[in-house]
Amino acid sequence: MQVNFKILLITLLIFSGLHTLSAQEKELSKADKKFESYAFIDAQKIYLRLAGEGYESPELFQKLGDSYYFNAKYEESAQWYGKLVSKFPEAVSPEHLFRYAQALKALQNYSKSDEIMEAFRIAKGGDSRAELFEEEPDYLEDISYSDSDYDVENLRRTNSRYSDFGPMFYENKLIFASSRDTGTTKKYVHKWNNEPFLDFYQAPIDVETGDLGTVEKFAEKLNTRYHESSPTFTSDGRTIYFTRNNYAQGVKRTDKNGTIRLKVYRSEKRGDSWSDPVELPFNSDNYSVSHPALSPDNKKLYFASDMPGTTGFSDLWVVDILGDNNYSEPRNLGPKVNTEGRENFPYISKKGNLYFSSDGRPGLGGLDIYVAATRKNGDIAYIINLGKPINSPQDDFAFIVDEFNNVGYFSTNRYFGMGGDDIFRFTRTIKPIPECRTSIVGTIRDAQTLLPIPTATVSALDLDGNVLQTTEVDKNGKYELNPLCNTEILIRAEEPEYYSAEELVTSPMENKSITVDLNLEPRITRINPGDDLAKLLKLNPIYFDFDRFNIRPDAALELVKVLAVMESNPTLVVEVRAHTDSRGPDAYNLTLSDKRAKATANYIVSRGIDPSRISGQGFGETQLKNECSNGVECTEEEHQLNRRSEFIVIDY
């Protein structure tokens, strides 16, 4: 039996494709298991191999992007998130839109990042990250402001080719975590980022120069084969709180998914050694507690956690230290600080200010460092991004500062560093803190016509009547005042032809603005027969196009004022009188002016005024205001005095 070769070839190709697809699905399943166990590097290798073979799916692009994102490789993550958004837009979750926007910031592509953030805002309204983005559209300009000048330097003699981060002051030394190669025979590698696990190290600080000396291991008894990081010490230096994987007495514990969580431990210094660490009672095998920070009085312990009640991926929390390893129930720092993103690495300075890192607020990219200025009662007054050069398009975190000497350290994975994370030192020069000024804006209008009054003056007064600030409105009647923040003041608008108007307000806090519009009543208290409303209302000239009598838009704006007066005074009867200058034939001028007067009256009638209350008559050049008659040489300004429209009150 003869076999059709073409059909056989197609059949073989189909079965070959099915075999390849089956093999790819097996590889994908294998990679997914590694990904779910946070072995991102191992998973990433498989995903890349599949992508190189032409395999495409939203799950593949998501997890490739995530595997780079969670290791702060934002340039690579942006590449894969971009493929996800362009090829599978219907499968993109709001969270992946947010991560894509963050990754784009690391590339300093802020316009594209803002575009993706707007899509995130639409997709996930109510999310604090979306709301903060909407509230701060000019966040890059806001971040450029800083109350201090910072000089930063990479501690190249201290940092290694691995990760070095989480510095803390201790007895004229800098204590930090590092995954550097210490020359041990057996190395344990973390599959999250393919680096050795973290241990504590120390470097002496030269009091005069601030330089760091030789790096050595710190507190060997506290270091284990797993991670230790983020130390904080009591004022007397006798107690340390620190972060460690869920590992004690040689036993590691995992959550239900097999993940080794983070916990905070406490140890006491006894002589020259440290006691066996004791985990804090609010730790759990099912969530992480990390990055402890002590208040200056050692009575409160701050930390980051994803425990129940957390808003985002991690929030900042606080407990009261009650003694004997007893603590109050953890309290979430709330929405003023926490977002649906990552808040971590808290630090409380000796002046009581809270510094922390977040990727949930508008920033330069990755984690940015913020300071929450606190009032005397402990409430947070406002939160400020520390700006450049402390922050960068990459991750910046673990900030500590000696605010009395204006020296400190922070961690970053910015480009051109020594390793994964580096420790930078900074010095800062304090600028005088400017007075907190805010913004009050508004428009001043005529109460009858609701047209702007471009000649008004607006003032801010204190409650004793003292003028604090005065400004003139612009041609559109708009003004702006900048009084002190959070102050009760009186806003007053004045214009000689109007009665003044006032409103009592409380000025907002910094970076906020309120609108106060005021309407002024005209000072026309009596209208008599024979009065010209054009003078009483200070009308601008009613212009017509050459040789025409239709009402122009600029003339219509002036006629609205006449209309408003006639509407509010229903017994008012008016005659429109139109006049020309002497140039042109007398008969022609008389006819043209009559048409213009009647067109003006008809316009007001068309807006609802009874025809019996308004009429129009043209007088041509028969009632000149000066000597500029036929044959007399006059200036354009003199002729202009004769070209006029009058609105004479006939009866009232």
Model pLDDT, residue 537: 81
Given this model, what pLDDT does residue 11 score?
41
Structure tokens at 109: 């592509």
Least confident of 184-188, 414-418, 633-637: 184-188
Amino acid, single-letter form, for residue 331: R
Nearest to 363, CA basis, from 382, 387, 399, 346: 387
Residue 515 pLDDT more than 70? yes
pLDDT band at 19 (very low <50, low <70, confident <90, very high): very low
- Under the banding of pLDDT at 50, 70 and 90, the label for residue 12 is very low
Across 147-167, average pLDDT? 86
- Residues paired with residue 470 on neighbouring β-strands, in sequence order: 459
Q: pLDDT band for 524, please (50, 70, 90 cuts).
A: low
- Give the pLDDT band of residue 252 (cuts 50, 70, 90): low
**For residue 254, what pLDDT is reported?**
58
User: Tokens standing for 117?
Assistant: 């953030």
Average pLDDT over residues 610-621: 94
Give which of 349, 285, 282, 344 is closest to 313, Cα–Cα. 344
SS3 call for 563: helix
Q: How confident is the model at residue 8 (pLDDT cuts 50, 70, 90)?
A: very low
Choose among 239, 234, 229: nearest CA to 264: 229
Task: State residue 154's pLDDT score.
Answer: 92
Highest mean pLDDT (candidates 383-387, 432-436, 441-445): 441-445
Q: Is the predicted pLDDT of residue 2 greater than 50, yes or no?
A: no
Query: Got the DSSP string for 329-340?
Result: PPEE--TTT--S
- Tell me the average pLDDT across 588-611: 93
Which range, of 23-37, 420-434, 602-616, averages the lowest pLDDT?
23-37
Which pLDDT does position 5 carry in this prediction? 45
Q: How far apart are CA 648 and CA 364, in angstroms?
A: 65
Q: How far apart are CA 169 and CA 563, in angstroms?
A: 76
Question: What pLDDT, on the 0 to 100 scale, is given for residue 249?
Answer: 54
Is 587's pLDDT higher than 50? Answer: yes
**Residues contacting 549, CB < 8 A, separation 6+:** 592, 595, 596, 599
Of 471 and 363, the structure prediction assigns the larger pLDDT to: 471
Q: Distance between CA 251 and CA 267 in Å, rounded?
A: 18
Question: 104 or 4: which carries more pLDDT confidence?
Answer: 104
Angle made by CA atoms 406, 412, 414, in degrees to the nearest 5: 120
538-565 mean pLDDT: 82
For residue 412, what pLDDT is reported? 93
Chain segment 256-307, per-residue pLDDT in tens: 665 678 899 999 998 888 999 999 999 998 899 999 999 999 999 999 999 9
Which has the closest alpha carbon to 412: 431, 430, 390? 390
Instruction: Report which of residues 6 and 316 the model is more confident about.
Output: 316
Average pLDDT, the chain: 85
Q: Is the pLDDT of residue 601 over 90?
A: yes
Residues of 457-477 as b/e, b for ≥16 C-beta within 10 angstroms?
A: bbbbbeeeeeeeeeeebeeeb
Three-state SS for 645?
A: strand
Helices (H), 275-325: none
pLDDT, greater one: 486 or 446: 446
User: Distance (Å, rounded) from C-alpha 72 to C-alpha 78?
Assistant: 11
The residue-averaged pLDDT of 355-384 equals 85
* Structure token pair of residue 368: 């940015």
Q: Taking 80 as the threshold, does the pLDDT of residue 34 lie above it?
A: no
> What pLDDT, on the 0 to 100 scale, is given for residue 617?
95
Ranges 21-35, 181-195, 389-403, 435-449: which has the least confidence = 181-195
Q: What is the pLDDT of residues 219-250, one digit of tens each?
A: 888 988 878 899 999 999 999 999 998 765 55
* DSSP strand pairing (513-515 vs 439-446): parallel
Q: How many CB atoms lie within 10 A of CB 528?
A: 8
Q: Cα–Cα–Cα angle for 390, 391, 395, nearest 5°?
A: 125
pLDDT at 148: 57
Lowest-confidence region among 4-8, 216-220, 350-354, 474-478: 4-8
- The mean-pLDDT minimum among 12-21, 277-286, 312-321, 592-601 falls in 12-21
pLDDT for 490-508, tens place per residue?
999 999 888 888 899 988 8
Closest listed residue to residue 63, CA positions, set 89, 85, 96? 96
